[in-house]
Amino acid sequence: MELFWYIVLMCMLAIYVILDGYDFGAGIIHLFFAKKEKDKKAITNAIGPFWDANEVWLIAAGGVLFFAFPTLYASSFSGFYLPLIIILWLLIFRAVGLELRGQIHNKMWESIWDKAFGISSLLLALFFGVALGNVVRGVNLGNVVNGVSTHEAHYFFLPLWNPTFSPQTEQLGIIDWFTLLLGIIGVVSLTIHGANWIIFKTNSNLNNKLKRIVFNLNFVLLGLIVISLLIWHIIEPKPFHNFLSNPWLWIFPVITLIGVLGLFNVKGFKKDGYGFLFSSLFLFGGLTSTVASIFPKVLPSTNTVNPDLTIYNVAAHDYGLSVGVYWFIIAIILVIAYFTIQYRVFKGKMDDVGYGEH
């Protein structure tokens, strides 16, 4: 049952990254590339009917984490308290920016909320990438100091950064050069993803420019991926041991590679949705490759005193996990029905939706 709920949790997170990821990317495009009012309107129209529903997947993933892996929930929500609060405020400002911009037709008012929407989207993409970097790198479980655990084995607390900015020191921070690299990869990949969504859902004058941006950023993304793979050996001496032991896991890196290579043809796609498909494949493959590389760990320990947190030592009792399956079946049917109706109602181009106009 632990494996079943772990797969459910990872699927929810992957869906969230793909769906809300294009919202973040659209916000970054809005911040840096939408200079004209009609271009800004096109971007908000493209995401307007979807962004709040997409965030439900994050809440659902949090619920599954609380239900199925309570020890991991308790450990993560205390240890990552500072970045989680920052993410919460960024989500609030992004939503407020979208909702309040059209309330008053004044250039200064609109500019303030445009910046709130764009900067929040950028920082959310960065922090979610940094969060993934923390999971890959691990944390100092038990707050070990000089070989002595000062707290319970699953407890930790991280400041935003440490004085050395190093991922290999005993007292780690949320942000170091390794996690920041993952954060930058998150920003670049979600910018590409958001651009592809805007191309897919609008006939904006920006679309040809966005195709060039996606093409150019894809070289940056590929370079960053190569660099991250090379330095991964510094963080984890045997980063590919799971793939060597279980060759079928290579399907996930292959999906990632297909996504990246497919994006180089963005200028030649006959249908606008192909770019979004390939960026979705990249995000799905990248996330699943990462979690597959550390499985069954869900939060590695950077010390030798306390063990890693795995899906087996943080899971709830088998009885609770089994009963939860019945409620999950009901919930997933309702969610699939809701999203099917939503995306069918708002299928096609969204230029004339008029989101946020009052």
pLDDT digits (tens, 9 = 90+) for 256-313: 999 999 999 888 888 888 999 999 999 999 999 999 988 888 988 888 888 888 889 8
Q: 357: pLDDT confidence band, cut at 50, 70 and 90?
A: low
Supply the pLDDT for residue 107.
82
What percent of the chain is predicted at pLDDT more than 90? 30
pLDDT digits (tens, 9 = 90+) for 136-179: 888 888 888 877 777 887 888 888 888 888 888 878 889 989 99
Domain residue ranges in the chain: 2-345
Supply the pLDDT for residue 152.
81
- Residue 25 reports pLDDT greater than 90: yes
Q: Taking residues 68-85, what's their average pLDDT?
A: 89
Q: Taking residues 87-113, what's their average pLDDT?
A: 84
Residue for token pair 């940094």: 130
Q: Mean pLDDT lowest for which of 89-98, 276-285, 341-350?
A: 341-350
Supply the pLDDT for residue 356.
60
Q: Taking residues 252-259, what's their average pLDDT?
A: 93
The pTM for the full model equals 0.90
Supply the pLDDT for residue 93.
87
